[in-house]
Structure 1
Amino acid sequence: MKQMKMIRKLKTYKHALWFLLYSAFYMTAFSAVEKAGHVHYHVIHTWLDEQIPFCRFFIIPYFLWFGFIGAAVTWFIMCCKNRDEYYKLITMLMMGMTIFIVVSVVYPNRLDLRPAQVEGNDIFAILCRYLYRTDTPTNVLPSIHVYNSMAVCYAVNANETLRRKKWVIAGTDVLTLLIVLSTMFLKQHSVIDVTTGMVMSVVLQVICDHIFETEPERAGADARIYSSKQGESGSRA
């Protein structure tokens, strides 16, 4: 009996398999890129980075990113009624992360923006030092923190169920903004990384919108175009 229930659950959530398999591939590829030990890294830097002060308080939204992405993907797996919206979100995430891996291989890059030392014994300073110890300042272009946050933000705002809940939309939008800012105020990313991540998210969102355009939407668009052409023909006659 328990086996049957387990089989039914697996069948119910079998669509999650694609993202789980990709996640395993991504983590393996990311780890390999990080351990590659390139002799020469291209330093990412712009004068704007120097105008942005280091602010340890942004460590909170920076770490909230992990739960934010995880919770969003889990909700779209388990609760989203429109399966295409789930596939659209994971396609966005997978496309962006794959591009990031490719860029890291063909254009190894790094930052030299971090402060020499993070002063203080408060929780924010402690978490910043932990972050710097565990995350190298290499392969930062484009910012996946920014890209994935914006991909999730798009998906949440477009979902018919979630967009009815104003607190969810407001919370998502504010947290996305804070995450984007945190990457720069913690000196984890350059303005270039952030801008590239944002531009890439817009471009790939347009592509995914086209790929996952539903048949009714296409039919409606075709009908409007046909009606417009008919009207133009009638006016010329």
Structure 2
Amino acid sequence: MQSITKIKQFILRYRHAWVLLYSFIYMPWFCYLEKHRFSHYYLIHSPLDDYIPFVEYFIVPYLLWFLFIAVTIAYFFFTDKKGYYQLTAFLFTGMTIFLIICTVFPNELNLRPHTFANDTVFTRLVQQLYSTDTPTNVLPSIHVYNSLGAAIAIGHSQALKKHRGIQFVSYGLAGLIVLSTMFLKQHSVTDVIAAVALTFMIYPLIYVTQTKRAPKLSQQPI
């Protein structure tokens, strides 16, 4: 009986996990875009791309993106319900807009190097990345958008303002991830600018409007 009570308490305490069901919308849609071949793709390119060299070492922050986003979501999930709702609303709104753009405006890149000057663990990781991630569906860059979203959430956290070191490390990592998308030729400067523009569009809707309205549900302690 006690175990059942504990399970009920756990479910009630973390019922805000329902938001993560969004993954069942995002992943099938994204996988469809990755596997489906559209009749026409718009080539994304900026003249600035030609001045940015390929630097394989940026594979490290690029891959750290997955951990960065997961840890950030987990932190707010367990410690700050309001911050969690704001973070996921920010991320999932932008990710949905990304899916819509790539559905009605199929896009791709032609920036990746065909050969590498060096054979190192870094270039091998890049080769592995290239083999699993197609150069399509790139605008706006979700790597950039989500990194900025995580950094914004961390910056707004009252608890983390007491730990400036964590905030500064997060900002630095987010910056390196943004740079990595271009130095690995995973994204064009255009993709990055589009992600930044989307950030400026979504930010006031989530962090300004919602803060003014201050929903009671989001302010409940975990």
| SS of 2:194 mapped into structure 1 | helix
Q: Does the 8 A contact of 1:84 with 1:212 survive in 2?
A: no
Which residue does the alignment assign to 1:130?
128
* Cα distance in 1, alignment partners of residues 122 and 105 from structure 2: 32
Gaps in structure 2 of 5+ consecutive residues: 215-222
Per-residue displacement from partner, 1:65-105 (whole Å, max 9, x unpaired)?
A: 0000000000000012xx22211111100110000000000
Which residue does the alignment assign to 2:47?
47
* 2:28 aligned with 1:13: no
Higher RCO (CA < 8 A, seq sep 6+): 2
How far did 1:16 drift? 1.5
Over 6 Å off, 4+ runs: none
* Cα distance in 2, alignment partners of residues 59 and 150 from structure 1: 18
* Cα distance in 1, alignment partners of residues 207 and 164 from structure 2: 23
Q: Output the TM-score relative to the length of structure 1.
A: 0.87
How far did 1:106 drift? 0.4
| SS of 1:32 mapped into structure 2 | helix
Alignment of 1:181-220 (within 5 A): 181-214=179-212
Aligned identity (percent) is 41
* Cα distance in 1, alignment partners of residues 146 and 158 from structure 2: 20
Which residue does the alignment assign to 1:230?
none
Q: Which amino acid aligns with 2:169?
A: G
Which residue does the alignment assign to 2:93?
95
* Cα distance in 1, alignment partners of residues 122 and 28 from structure 2: 30
How far did 1:215 drift? 5.0
* Cα distance in 1, alignment partners of residues 160 and 208 from structure 2: 22
Gaps in structure 1 of 5+ consecutive residues: 217-237
Q: Output the TM-score relative to the length of structure 2.
A: 0.92
**Count of residues in correspondence between the two structures:** 213
Which residue does the alignment assign to 2:111?
113
* Cα distance in 2, alignment partners of residues 45 and 24 from structure 1: 32
* 2:87 aligned with 1:58: no
Alignment of 1:129-208 (within 5 A): 129-208=127-206
RMSD, aligned CA: 1.3
Quickly say closer, same or farther: Cα 1:215–1:137, change in 2 above 3 A.
Answer: closer
- When Rg is computed on C-alpha atoms for both structures, the one with the higher figure is 1
Which residue does the alignment assign to 1:23?
23
